[in-house]
């Protein structure tokens, strides 16, 4: 393939052209390729912020491997050509997509170009019970608003939370049979409440891992600052992208043990965002301690838990939470993620996802 890059660079973004300052994850690239294939075809330039700001793409990661993974995830596979190209002594990566005769989908989702943006054409619509708990609908509306500026990590996080809201709405009879502001007296409802709460805390950790992955791809030099890894860890991964994902997941270990401060201190990529202050760290740590109690002790309060909640509970009592309180935690963690994500996009020029 031979692309005359001089006919591309300098043109404004539009229906057939998209600039990305950094190397996005393969799923983000797949969405863009799908959108161009389903529209008029087009070109993606990696390593340029816009037509006038040529940054260059780091050579630490092989873009062709990640682009090939993106293409392989599409059904049917569109006609795509891609290669590195030099421009003004900068290294760029060009992806050229032909218009497809058939709709190209990613995990059954279809994307198209509308002007200079990529949009999902068949979003999953969540319908809530009209006569249901209004707070669920209000929280969902706030989550939808958070999607307007988001990384792929944040979109995944929000969609998981919205699925939790749908479960809450569908199973009102056991989750809040009397009043959503009172802990349920239904035994199945008690178990499900603990499961849902644990899931929302787990997903917060997953978001941070996914965000670190996006940062490492965008700024490979930040990965080089990490502690040494073993040869076995590298060899156990099939390629560099898989290793970066593995390493991002590994950074969550301290967070999983409930140490939010330790996690932030160990990960300058998050610390440098200055998006979580001391009081927020304490509150997140409390949420993770409740998750630990639900996941490992069926909600029975132990001495370790009391260290984080002095004077609030009795030893060996059962910790229970009303659905209204769970919704408050969803709102709180989602607002934290929104702050982190916005800061990360600005600091690392991360690719935004349109939905």
Contact by Cβ (8 Å): 252, 209: yes
Residues sharing a CB contact under 8 Å with residue 50, sequence separation 6 or more, in sequence order: 12, 13, 19
Question: Quick check: is 129 in a domain?
Answer: no
Choose the final residue of a domain: 93, 120, 147. Answer: 120
Number of residues that this document lists for the chain:
355
CA 243/CA 62 separation, integer angstroms: 13
The confidence score (pLDDT) of residue 232 equals: 61
Decide which of 251 and 50 is more confident: 50
| Residue 146 and residue 10 share a domain | no
| Residue 96 and residue 152 share a domain | no
Provide the edge-to-edge strand list for the sheet that holds 74-75: 74-75, 105-106, 109-114, 117-120
The confidence score (pLDDT) of residue 45 equals: 94
Choose the final residue of a domain: 120, 152, 174. Answer: 120
| Residue 180 and residue 216 share a domain | yes
Per the structure, how many domains does the chain have?
2
CATH of the domain at 116: 3.30.950.30
Choose the final residue of a domain: 120, 155, 183. Answer: 120
CA 243/CA 85 separation, integer angstroms: 26
Burial 169-187 (b: 16+ CB within 10 A, else e): bebbebbbeeebeebbebe
Question: Quick check: is 353 in a domain?
Answer: no
The stretch 58-83 carries a mean pLDDT of 91
CA 216/CA 200 separation, integer angstroms: 25
Give 11-40 pLDDT, tens digit per residue.
999 999 999 988 888 999 999 999 999 999
| Residue 101 and residue 150 share a domain | no
Question: Quick check: is 354 in a domain?
Answer: no
Strands 109-114 and 80-87 come out as: unpaired
| Residue 32 and residue 175 share a domain | no
Please report which confidence band the pLDDT of residue 226 belongs to, taking 50, 70 and 90 as the band edges.
low
| Residue 251 and residue 199 share a domain | yes
Question: Quick check: is 251 in a domain?
Answer: yes
The confidence score (pLDDT) of residue 230 equals: 59
Q: What predicted TM-score, i.e. pTM, was given to this entire model?
A: 0.85
DSSP for 55-118, please give it.
----SSS-HHHHHHHHHHTEESPP-EEEEEEEETTEEEEEEEEPPPSS--EETTEEEEEETTEE
Give 145-194 pLDDT, tens digit per residue.
999 999 999 999 999 999 999 999 999 999 999 999 999 999 999 999 99
* Residue 47 domain boundaries: 5-120
Question: Quick check: is 36 in a domain?
Answer: yes
Question: Quick check: is 125 in a domain?
Answer: no
| Residue 343 and residue 255 share a domain | yes
pLDDT higher than 80, residue 132: yes
Question: Quick check: is 43 in a domain?
Answer: yes
Nearest by Cα to 129 from 87, 78, 185, 169:
169
| Residue 105 and residue 209 share a domain | no
Give 90-119 pLDDT, tens digit per residue.
999 999 999 999 999 999 999 999 998 999
| Residue 177 and residue 61 share a domain | no
The confidence score (pLDDT) of residue 330 equals: 98
| Residue 149 and residue 67 share a domain | no
The stretch 295-300 carries a mean pLDDT of 94
| Residue 115 and residue 153 share a domain | no
| Residue 142 and residue 219 share a domain | yes
pLDDT higher than 80, residue 241: no
The stretch 270-283 carries a mean pLDDT of 94
CA 166/CA 175 separation, integer angstroms: 12
Question: Quick check: is 127 in a domain?
Answer: no
pLDDT higher than 60, residue 234: no
């Amino acid at each position: 393939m031979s692309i005359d890059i001089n006919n591309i660079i300098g043109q404004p973004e539009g229906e057939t052209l998209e600039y990305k300052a950094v190397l996005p994850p393969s799923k983000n690239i797949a969405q863009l390729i799908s959108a161009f294939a389903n529209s008029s075809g087009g070109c993606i330039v990696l390593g340029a912020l816009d037509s006038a700001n040529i940054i260059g793409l780091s050579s630490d990661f092989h873009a062709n491997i990640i682009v090939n993974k993106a293409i392989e995830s599409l059904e049917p596979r569109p006609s795509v050509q891609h290669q590195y190209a030099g421009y003004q002594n900068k290294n760029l990566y060009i992806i050229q997509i032909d218009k497809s005769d058939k709709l190209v989908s990613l995990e059954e989702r279809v994307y198209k170009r509308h002007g200079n943006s990529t949009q999902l054409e068949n979003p999953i619509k969540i319908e809530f019970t009209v006569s249901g708990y209004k707070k669920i609908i209000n929280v969902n509306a706030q989550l939808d608003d958070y999607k307007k500026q988001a990384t792929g990590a944040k979109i995944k996080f929000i969609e998981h939370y919205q699925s939790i809201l749908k479960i809450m709405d569908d199973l009102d009879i056991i989750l809040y049979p009397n009043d959503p502001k009172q802990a349920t007296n239904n035994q199945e409802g008690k178990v499900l409440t603990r499961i849902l709460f644990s899931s929302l805390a787990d997903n917060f950790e997953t978001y941070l891992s996914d965000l670190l992955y996006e940062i490492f791809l965008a700024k490979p030099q930040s990965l080089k600052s990490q502690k040494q890894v073993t040869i076995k860890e590298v060899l156990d991964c099939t390629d560099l992208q898989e290793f970066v994902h593995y390493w991002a997941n590994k950074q969550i270990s301290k967070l999983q043990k409930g140490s939010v401060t330790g996690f932030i201190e160990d990960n300058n990529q998050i610390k440098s965002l200055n998006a979580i202050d001391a009081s927020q760290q304490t509150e997140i740590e409390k949420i993770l301690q409740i998750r630990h109690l639900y996941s490992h002790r069926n909600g029975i309060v132990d001495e370790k838990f009391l260290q984080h909640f002095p004077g609030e509970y009795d030893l060996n009592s059962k910790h229970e939470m009303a659905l209204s309180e769970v919704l408050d935690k969803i709102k709180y963690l989602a607002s934290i993620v929104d702050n982190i994500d916005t800061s990360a996009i600005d600091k690392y020029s991360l690719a935004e996802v349109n939905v």
